[in-house]
């Protein structure tokens, strides 16, 4: 199928939706509100009216977040329906991220209940329990009384290969961090494999997005775990996602090989993102003395994440301005919708906890 036939319709449809998103002032109006009740009123006449209805009937913020999750899954399915062949398969593959996140949440609940003995109670009901990509027995997973039962609940999915490497004892001893990293790694491996099946134009655009994504994630892993948590080389190296220019760079190899206490992430940051180092230093200078050292590190991390997020946003915006008949447009659309949803969820949470407009704006900045 030629690109125009493949992407013509979805291009028009998504651009119309993006146009409406651009015109919408929902984020600004939400920020201006004084309470959760007032924030919900802003959503009433928008495409998020279902979220407002759920608030009316339940008053439960987490239940409202479930509506967003359902909406995001429906969004991927809708776009996949309008595409054919490999691009459609690839969009389905992207749903894997939602599935992995849902799975991580389910396992965290299980871990908290079975290992940490904190009753799960109603919390499992906030999980998405229908099929996303692979058949997973979600009720069996959240009701598993042993790790073996968790593994069994995932037996028909590719996640089985990852979880079966762990035992209840190893999970008890080491926690979930390593497992979650492996699940993420598996998702990216599937994506990189999926990219190979796309046409050359699609592959080029999608690679541009995912390689930037991978570079940013690797950078954050190195800063957070290599610099802040001082992980040793043999613990740090497996956490990195083995793709992208950051992973392959000499600077990274040097960084990992350096003694944890002597590592300097700014060498890598300045090498790949020259503006970022300056931004992080600025945060340090601004806050030094007024906050504790560990809080300062958290702020540095936040500054970095926000900078890297902006770079991703730049990539998506530039893709929106380039060839319209590639998979770039659906990918950009997913990103922008998810970004808007995340912001709305964050604002609603902020309003629930009584944060002011200035504070929330500060966090977003």
Partner 1 sequence: MNLFTRPMKLLTAVVLEQTTEAVIKALLQLGVMDFVHINRLDPQQMEKLSTKPSSVSRMALEDTRHRVEALLRQGHIHLPSSEFLKVDDLQKPDLETYKNVLDALNIQLLTLKDKQKQCNQRLIGFEEMKRYIAEDKGEYLDLRLGEFTHGTQEDLSSKIGSFGGILDEIKDVGKFISLTLRRDVSQVDPLLEKFGWEESSDAGLQRQALTIVTHRLEDECRKALLERSEVEGEVDAVIAEKKSKLIEIWGNLRLNELCDQIRSYFAYTRNTTLFSGWVPSDQAQAVSKAIFDASDGQCVIEWTEATEVNREEVPVAISMPKALEPFQRMVNNYATPEYGTVNPTLFVMVAYLIMFGLMFADVGQGFILLLVGLFVKFNYKKNPMKPDGLLSRNIATLLLYLGGSAITFGLLFGSYFGMNIFPALWFNFDAVVSGHAEGDVFKNVYDILGLTVKFGIVVIYTGLGINWVNLTRKKAWLKLILDKNGITGGLLFGIGLYMAFGFVKTGYHTFPTDPWITPVLLVCLIAMFFRGFLAYYLSVKEGGKTHDAGKVIFDSVMEWILDTLEIFTGYLSNTLSFMRVAGLGIAHASLMEAFKELSNMAGGVWGIAIFVLGNVLVIVLEGLSSGIQSLRLNYYEFFSRYFTGKGVAYEPVGLKSNFSL
> In the complex, which residues of this chain contact partner 1 (CB under 8 A)?
32-38, 40-42, 44-45, 55-61, 63, 110, 113-114, 117, 119-122, 124-125, 139, 142-145
Choose among 231, 253, 124, 254: nearest CA to 181.
231
Considering the complex, what minimum distance in angstroms separates the CB of residue 127 from partner 1?
11
Q: What is the largest CA-CA distance in the chain?
A: 61
Distance of closest approach, residue 146 Cβ to partner 1, in angstroms: 10
User: Which of 55/334 has CB closer to partner 1?
Assistant: 55
Q: Which is nearer to partner 1, 146 or 318 (CB)?
A: 146
Instruction: Give whichever of 10 and 142 is closer to partner 1, judged by the CB atom.
Output: 142
Q: How far is the CB of 178 from partner 1 (least distance, A)?
A: 23
CA–CA separation, 68 and 233 (whole Å):
39
Q: How far is the CB of 87 from partner 1 (least distance, A)?
A: 30
Closest to partner 1 by CB, 140 vs 299, is 140
Minimum Å distance from CB 160 to partner 1?
20
When the beta carbons of 229 and 353 are compared against partner 1, the nearer one is 353
* C-beta of 129 vs 287, nearer to partner 1: 129
Question: Residue 347 in contact with residue 360, Cβ under 8 Å?
Answer: yes
Q: Beta-carbon neighbour count of residue 127 at 10 Å?
A: 17
Least CB distance from residue 78 to partner 1, whole Å?
Answer: 19
In the chain the first and final C-alpha atoms are separated, in Å, by: 43
- Tell me the H-state helices in 113-241: 138-142, 147-153, 159-163, 168-174, 177-196, 200-221, 233-236
Cα separation, 329 vs 86, whole angstroms: 15
SS3 label, residue 54: helix
Q: How far apart are CA 63 and CA 42, in angstroms?
A: 18
By beta-carbon proximity to partner 1, the closer residue of 117 and 292 is 117
Of 171 and 276, the one with the shorter C-beta distance to partner 1 is 171
Check if the beta carbon of residue 256 is closer than 8 Å to that of residue 242: no
177 C-beta neighbours (distance < 10 Å), count: 12
In the complex, least distance from residue 47 CB atom to partner 1, rounded to whole angstroms: 14
Instruction: Tell me how crowded residue 290 is: count the other CB atoms within 10 A of its CB.
Output: 8
232: left (phi over 0), alpha (psi -120 to 50) or beta: beta
Least gap, CB of 140 to partner 1 (angstroms): 8
Q: How many CB atoms lie within 10 A of CB 30?
A: 25
CB of 119 to partner 1, least distance (A): 5
Q: What is the dihedral of CA 134, 139, 140, 143, to 10 degrees?
A: 140
The strand pairing partners of 288, in sequence order, are 291
Which lies closer to partner 1 via its Cβ, residue 43 or residue 206?
43
């Amino acid at each position: 199928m030629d690109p125009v036939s493949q992407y013509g319709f979805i291009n028009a449809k998504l651009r119309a939706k993006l146009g409406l998103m651009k015109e919408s002032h929902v984020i600004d109006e939400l920020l201006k509100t004084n309470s959760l009740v007032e924030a919900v009123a802003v959503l009433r006449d928008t495409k998020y009216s279902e979220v407002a209805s759920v608030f009316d009937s339940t008053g439960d913020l987490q239940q409202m977040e479930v509506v967003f999750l359902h909406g995001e899954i429906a969004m991927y399915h809708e776009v996949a329906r309008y595409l054919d062949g490999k691009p459609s398969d690839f969009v389905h593959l992207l749903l894997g991220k939602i599935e992995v996140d849902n799975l991580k949440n389910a396992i965290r609940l299980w871990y908290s209940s079975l290992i940490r003995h904190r009753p799960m109670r109603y919390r499992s009901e906030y999980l998405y329990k229908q099929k996303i990509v692979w058949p997973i027995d979600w009720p069996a997973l959240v009701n598993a009384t042993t790790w073996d039962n968790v593994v069994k609940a995932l037996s028909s999915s590719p996640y089985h290969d990852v979880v079966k490497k762990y035992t209840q004892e190893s999970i008890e001893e080491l926690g979930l961090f390593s497992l979650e990293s492996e699940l993420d790694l598996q998702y990216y491996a599937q994506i990189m494999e999926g990219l190979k099946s796309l046409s050359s134009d699609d592959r080029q655009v999608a690679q541009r997005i995912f390689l930037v994504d991978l570079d940013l994630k690797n950078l954050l892993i190195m800063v957070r775990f290599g610099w802040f948590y001082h992980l040793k080389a043999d613990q740090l190296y497996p956490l990195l996602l083995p793709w992208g220019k950051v992973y392959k760079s000499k600077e990274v190899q040097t960084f990992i090989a350096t003694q944890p206490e002597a590592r300097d992430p700014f060498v890598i940051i300045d090498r790949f993102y020259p503006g970022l180092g300056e931004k992080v230093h600025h945060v340090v200078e601004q806050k030094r003395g007024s906050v504790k050292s560990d809080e300062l590190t958290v702020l540095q991390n936040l500054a970095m994440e926000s900078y890297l997020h902006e770079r991703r946003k730049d990539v998506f915006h530039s893709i929106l301005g380039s060839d319209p008949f590639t998979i770039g447009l659906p990918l950009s659309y997913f990103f922008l919708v998810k970004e808007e949803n995340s912001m709305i969820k964050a604002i609603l949470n902020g309003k629930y906890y009584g944060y002011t407009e200035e504070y929330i704006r500060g966090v977003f900045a």
